[in-house]
Structure formats: structure tokens, C-alpha cells
Amino acid sequence: MGKRAGAKTTAVPAAAGVRLEWWAVPLAVRSEVEAALGSPVESAVTQTGGFSPGVAARVRLADGRRVFIKAVGPEPNPEAPGIHRAEARITAALPGAAPVPSLLTALDLDGWVVLVLEDVDGKMPAQPWQPDELRRVLAAAADLSVLLDPSPVEAPPVADRLGASFQGWRRLAAASAAGTDDLAWLGPWARRNLGRLADREAGWTAAAAGSALVHGDLRADNILLTEDRVVVVDWPWAAVGAAWFDVVAMGPSVVMQGTPDAVRLLDRHLHAQGAAPEDVTTVLIAAAGFFLHQSVQPPPPGLPTVRSFQRAQGEAALPWIRARTGWH
């Protein structure tokens, strides 16, 4: 499952964390994985896309087979093994027609969780997004929303999955009122409309309700383009909600990259999908609040680059929100 980097021609933050090399995994764990695969690992090439602090490597086995291995231990981020377990459960349950790498095996070994997946010979979308690749991904998102509605997998409602996180504007407003953050880092339009943003954010759970299985973390680094497929990887945050949710949540990262005509392409897609404009705006406001509030929190263990990426996404969403609301 190759996450080979797309062309990067901008200085915006990259979706890239600090990866662990396969050879840094404890020998006993590596030996168990090789025994399960029936062949030793001959080479392992680390892939940089994404924020997990664990292993993400394209692997060639001594018998010539190729697989993709993800592995994480209890350190430095104790939440990471549970995330990998969730990904294994969701991936194994997805229908065979879904454009998702097959899960070949999953192992729990001495606190380590290892996923062995089909290796997809693809590349990430170019950054900034190219309009033709964005159109291709949006078309694939539309097809996927049909395939996964109603959800074929047991997963929590998106309101439960993200409810504790999508309160960013309300938390920023509370910090401002308490005098613990003067929000000087926030742009004047957002500060001026802080109360309206917080009020609108509160309605996002109703706006995002639906019956489709959504990925929950769709971005360029979770997409692989092959010659004839758009493959969506990394499903631990899957939830049940509005079929268009993923495109709205992905939108700020697309706009952030300076993608030509991004907002028009995103809005046109959402309109074609029948998404209610007011619901889209409400969810977009909640997503922007999440990104901006998270950006001023300490970085999670093992994920030193994620906060700047979140800040850039939140700031990119604000002009889009302003255009949709008409607020001055």
C-alpha cells in the first residue's frame, strides 16, 4: 500500500509525522510477524504520509511477495495501539467492492499491534491538488457514499465519534471570556464573529446525521491514485453520518494547499450530492473550530507536526465559511 509522496510545490505544512523504521521494532515482534507471513522481510521502505508515530512501510518478503505493514507499540503514544485495532476491525468488515486495501492479517504482540495489508502501487494526489485529480477523488467519494449507505459496518454515529472534539469555537469563546486566551492569534473576522460561530457550531450533530459509513479522516495522505482506481486507506475513525461529511471535512486541507478553483469544485460536488447548504456550512464551521482549537493545544506524544497542519486547515476554512455565511 504505497504512500509515495505527490509533488510538493508549496510551503504549507505537510501531512507527515515522525515514522518508526521497521527495523526498530523489537526483534521478537518482527520474528512473529515473519512467522505469520511465512517468509522473512527482505526490505522495508518507510512511507512518510500521515501522522501515526508507528511503522508504515512497503515491504518485500524473501519469497518475492509485497505487503504493506503498519505497526505501533505502547510508546510514545499510548492511544495508537487502540487506533490500529479499530482500523483492523473496520477494514476487515468493509465490503469487497470497496476501494480499500485488503487486510491480510492483524496481530497483537506484547503491546504491539501489527496490520499487514495489501500493497497498493499508487501515489498520493499531488500537492497542491491538481483539478483533474481532485475531480477524480470527488467522483470516487460520490461512488463510495452510495456503496456505504446504509453502513455495512457497525460503527458509532459521527456525533459520538467527534462530539467531544467538535466544540472548538465554544471552547475558544470560553477561554476568551475567562481571560486565559486573548485569541490575538486568531484573525479579526473570526474574533468578531466568535459568538455566532460558537452558536452555529452547536448544531453540527444534527446537520451531520445520516446513515452512511464515512471515513472520518479523508485527506490526500489517506488516498492513493492508481492507473484505474482511487483507493482510500486508514479507516480507524470511521463513523455513521451524512454521506457528504468526508468531503466537507477534507475541504479545508484542499483549500489550504492553494488548489486552483478548490472552493467552486467542492461546492459544486456537495450541491450535486444533494447536501443541504445550511447543513454543509454548519459542519464546516464545526470542523474549522476543531482544527483551530486543537492547533493551540500541546502536541500529542509522538506527533510533533500535527498542530501546524491543523492550524493551516482551520485558517484555510475561514474564507470559505465567510463566503457561505455572508457574515462581515
3-state secondary structure 163-185: CCCCCHHHHHHHHHHHCCCCCCC
Which helix (H) or strand (E) segment is 312 a member of?
helix 306-325
Write out pLDDT tens, residues 227-279: 999 999 999 999 999 999 999 999 999 999 988 899 999 999 999 999 999 99
Cis peptide bond N-terminal to 150, omega within 30: yes
d(CA 10, CA 258): 8
| C-alpha count within 13 angstroms, C-beta hemisphere, residue 124 | 23
- Provide the residue type at 2 as one letter: G
> Which residues, other chains included, contact 70 with Cβ-Cβ below 8 Å and sequence gap of 6+?
52, 54, 55, 56, 84, 87, 114, 115, 117
Write out pLDDT tens, residues 62-101: 999 999 999 999 988 888 899 999 999 999 999 999 999 9
- pLDDT, averaged in runs of 10, over the chain (328 residues): 38 66 96 97 88 87 98 88 95 96 96 97 93 97 97 97 95 98 97 98 98 96 96 97 98 93 97 97 98 95 86 97 98
Residue 98 near residue 147, CB atoms below 8 Å: yes
pTM: 0.91
Strands 212-214, 103-109: pairing is unpaired
The C-alpha R_g of the chain, in whole angstroms, comes to 20
The residue whose grid cell reads 457550531 is 201
pLDDT at 8: 35
d(CA 325, CA 82): 38
163-174 burial: b if 16+ Cβ within 10 Å, else e? eeebbbbbbbbe
Cis peptide bond N-terminal to 76, omega within 30: yes
Tell me if residue 313 falls in helix, strand or coil. Answer: helix
Which residue from 75, 115, 101 is spatially nearest to 303, judged by alpha carbons?
75
d(CA 314, CA 294): 10
> Which residues, other chains included, contact 54 with Cβ-Cβ below 8 Å and sequence gap of 6+?
19, 20, 70, 71, 72, 73, 80, 84
Cis peptide bond N-terminal to 13, omega within 30: no
23: phi then psi, degrees, rounded to nearest 5? -75, -10
Name the percent of the chain in helix, strand, coil, to the closest 5.
45, 15, 40
Return mean pLDDT, the chain: 93
Residue 67 near residue 115, CB atoms below 8 Å: no
> Nearest 5 degrees, angle CA 30-CA 31-CA 36?
100
Strand partners, 98: none
